[in-house]
């Protein structure tokens, strides 16, 4: 009898039904949110992805269990948050400086076999952690590293003096990726000459240019592309 009274006093069917309905709304809202923003937020490609996921979880969790917030208000808050993130993402794509501000930037750690102490300090990365991260990508000798950098999501990209297993993006959406260009020991003049040989005088018209020892993949700002085998 005590248990029945306790349940009647502490369980409000209407409130629980509202919570359940909010959960359903939240499920579809998050799925739509991922569709609009992009699946990269699932992998935390940048610090911005992590922040927006934390805030989204806090918003959804806090509102779902707050009986004073209606379902309409809940949907409205999620809509506003989606709009804010979409706007920030759009601005970041158009403005490189704002993109670096919101998403962070790539930090060079090793260039042409020489370690960049300033880069390690900026990344707040100690040598032991760096060594362990290299082991995760199959590099066990630090002295073999020719090029290494910390990506926006905290991962390490590195390759050794042997380029056989690596392909790097030298041009991304019409802009030269100087980090990788310098990493393979080439300069802007070399890249422009290589592209001219393939019939591309204007780098801005190139969507992607990927280099590897085996091939040079060039994709212009159209559906057509070609692959040159070395």
pLDDT tens for each residue of 116-140: 888 899 888 999 999 999 988 888 8
> What architecture does CATH give domain 163-230?
2-Layer Sandwich (3.30)
CATH 3.90.1580.10 holds for 106-162:
no
- Cα 128 to the center of its chain, rounded Å: 25
Domain ranges of the chain: 2-100, 106-162, 163-230
Q: Could you give the strand order of the β-sheet that contains 175-176, starting from the edge strand earlier in sequence? A: 175-176, 168-172, 206-211, 215-220, 226-229
Instruction: Express each pLDDT in 159-217 by its tens digit.
Output: 887 665 677 888 888 888 887 787 777 888 888 888 888 888 888 888 888 888 777 88
Cβ partners under 8 Å of residue 170, min gap 6: 176, 177, 180, 181, 186, 191, 209, 210, 211
CA 136, CA 138: separation in Å to the nearest integer?
6
pTM > 0.95: no
* Fold agreement between 106-162 and 163-230: yes
- Concatenating the DSSP letter of every residue in 63-109 gives HHT-TTS-HHHHHHHHHHHHHHHHHHHHHHHH-HHHHHHHH---EEE
What DSSP character marks residue 222?
S
């Amino acid at each position: 009898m005590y248990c029945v009274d306790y349940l009647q006093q502490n369980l409000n069917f209407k409130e629980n039904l509202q919570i359940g309905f909010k959960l359903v709304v939240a499920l579809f809202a998050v799925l739509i949110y991922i569709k609009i923003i992009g699946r990269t937020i699932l992998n935390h490609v940048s610090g911005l992805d992590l922040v927006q996921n934390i805030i989204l979880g806090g918003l959804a969790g806090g509102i779902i269990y707050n009986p004073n917030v209606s379902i309409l208000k809940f949907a409205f808050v999620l809509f506003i948050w989606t709009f804010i993130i979409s706007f920030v993402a759009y601005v970041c794509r158009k403005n490189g400086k704002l993109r670096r501000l919101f998403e962070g930037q790539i930090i060079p750690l090793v260039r042409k076999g020489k370690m960049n102490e300033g880069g390690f300090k900026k990344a707040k990365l100690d040598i032991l952690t760096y060594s362990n991260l290299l082991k995760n990508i199959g590099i066990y000798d630090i002295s073999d590293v020719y090029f290494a950098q910390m990506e926006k999501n905290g991962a390490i990209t590195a390759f050794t003096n042997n380029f056989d297993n690596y392909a790097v993006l030298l041009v991304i959406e019409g802009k030269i990726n100087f980090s990788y260009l310098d990493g393979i020991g080439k300069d802007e003049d070399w890249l422009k000459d290589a592209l001219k040989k393939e019939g591309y005088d204007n780098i801005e018209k190139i969507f992607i240019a990927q280099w590897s020892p085996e091939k040079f993949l060039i994709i212009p700002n159209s559906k057509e592309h070609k692959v040159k085998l070395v």
